[in-house]
Structure 1
Amino acid sequence: MFVPLLLMLLAAEGEAPRPEIAVIELPPPVAPDLLRPLRADRDYKSWVRSSDYPQDAAREHRTGAVRIMVQVAADDRIERCEILSASGGGDIAALPCQLIARYGRFRHGLAADGSPRGGTSTLDFTFRIRDRAVPLAEPPAPRFDGTPPGPIDPLDLVLRGASIADFPNDTPSAMLQVNAQGRATACMIEASSGSDAGDIALCRHLRGVAFHPGMNRAGVPVAAPLLAVVSVQR
């Protein structure tokens, strides 16, 4: 009799509401003059911890949402953090820029000619108190209403003989705009190779690949986006 009661108490403790902070970097707008947009480091979600939740807000069960814009120089220095919108109280509104100043790390963008470029990153912070593990929904990925483009030869998405210095990441990817003739007219790095030289080489390679164009519902070739994931072989 006592064992089931103990288990019920433990379960109740496990489901006790707890504060949580989640952060999502908004996708950068497509810019034809950019080869790689400025982005937060890949581990940016580790910049926030539940223990950072303002104590008064947690005690009062206050929740909120804060959107910030971070201005970053071409040498990766954080120049400015601006609150674009906020709810939940001043202590919640102030925290994201404090966390950025303490932990924020960003990687500069690349212009179409390969030169470093600064820019802005927009991040959404959600402060909530939840009863159980319900993950925050990621923003939906853009979808193409039709048949997406794809490489005529799938082996064209394999990059051979690349150096580990240029490609520390062996599965980089880029968002392409493929025209109705099956050529990539725009290339923006999605997952970096790990180096500026590698990202420049990746887009150069993808611009030379022949693709099946996307098709609309009527079966007519049209310009369409494609996330191209490349496998790097040393």
Structure 2
Amino acid sequence: MSHPIARLAALTLLALGAGAVSAQEPEVRVPVVTLFTISDLDDPAMIRAAKPVEGYETWLTPADFPADAFDPTRTWYVPLSIKVAADGSVSDCIPIDPVRQGGARACEVIRERGRFVHALDAEGRPQSGSRAMGAVFELRQPGKPVLASPAPPPMGYQNTKPVIRDAALLQLAADPQKFIETAPGVWLDINAKGRVTRCRIRISTGTDAGDAEVCKRMTKAKFDPARDPQGNKVPAVGAYFALKVAA
């Protein structure tokens, strides 16, 4: 009868041997193309930027590209500048770095499949706009997620947030024709005197008229301005405020 330690050693060697064999097996990687939004190309005249419709991540697939678009030695990142017409269609798409692999073909596919929610001006009128997006081409192990670097903290992140003086302005009366989304939100630029200098829609009400009304409402609001760590009144850029539609 073998000694328990001997049996354990044998099992350990078997396990190590199995590990060595599996380590020598070729790594399985499959082509993956990932489309994501970078930002809207800022237009001060717009309260809502052009935005890709839900499901835009499926616009590009590996089958749309030749095999050499996926390099086993590197990951390709291709930034794209997309022009959006007032009806939400793609009027143009340009690879920002045309030398990089896959950019021209990505734009061809986006021109065909891409659909956007149009940009909106302060009067609630549909407008043309621009959007920056990016495509990543890689050979990836199945199930491995895309790793993204954390965003740097925004400027002024240590400052206090502006405080609205009349919180009732954040409450919207029920109106299903205007307010489909019951929890819209806005980004506000607020100067050191507590006045709103710009409103941008972060979460849409679901309608053009509703978004325009929200920004008109918030632009008239008064705020106690943000303060820096020394207590000085300072401007705030992109302060987020959530609104609520009555049930």
Considering the TM-score relative to the shorter chain, is it more than 0.5?
yes
Find the counterpart in structure 2 of residue 191 from structure 1: 203
Deviation at 1:203, TM superposition (A): 0.6
Q: CA deviation at 1:105?
A: 0.6
Q: List aligned pairs for 1:140-219, cutoff 5 A.
A: 140=152, 142-145=154-157, 146-159=159-172, 161-219=173-231
TM-score under structure 2 length normalisation: 0.77
Q: Which residue of 1 aligns with 2:105?
A: 95
Aligned to 2:243: 230
Could you report, residue by residue, the CA deviation over 1:191-231 in whole angstroms, capped at 9, with x for unpaired residues?
A: 22111001011112212333221112221111112012222
C-alpha distance in 2 between matches for 1:26 and 1:210: 32
Q: Structure 2 vs 1, CA of residues 95 and 62 (structure 1 numbering), >3 Å: closer, same or farther?
A: farther
Letter of the 2:246 partner, please give it: Q
Structure 1 CA distance for aligned equivalents of residues 29 and 166 of structure 2 = 52
- Aligned CA RMSD, in angstroms, stands at 3.1
Counterpart amino acid of 1:228? F
Unaligned runs of 5+ in 2: 1-10
Residue 86 of structure 2 corresponds to residue 74 of structure 1: yes
Pairwise CA distance, 1:16? 3.2
- Runs of 5+ consecutive residues of structure 1 not aligned to the other structure: none
Contact 1:21 1:53 in 2 (8 A): no
Distance 1:38 1:223 in 2: 26
Query: Structure 2: how far apart are the matches of 1:27 and 1:59?
Result: 27
1:23 is matched by which residue type in structure 2? L
> Aligned equivalents of 1:134 and 1:125: distance in 2?
12
> TM-score when scaled to structure 1?
0.81
Kept in 2: contact 1:64–1:87 (CA 8 A)? no
Amino acid in the other structure paired with 2:193: Q
Matched residue type, 1:190:
R
Query: How far off is 1:88 after superposition?
Result: 4.5
For the residue of structure 2 that corresponds to 1:126, the secondary structure is strand
SS of the aligned residue for 2:69 comes to helix
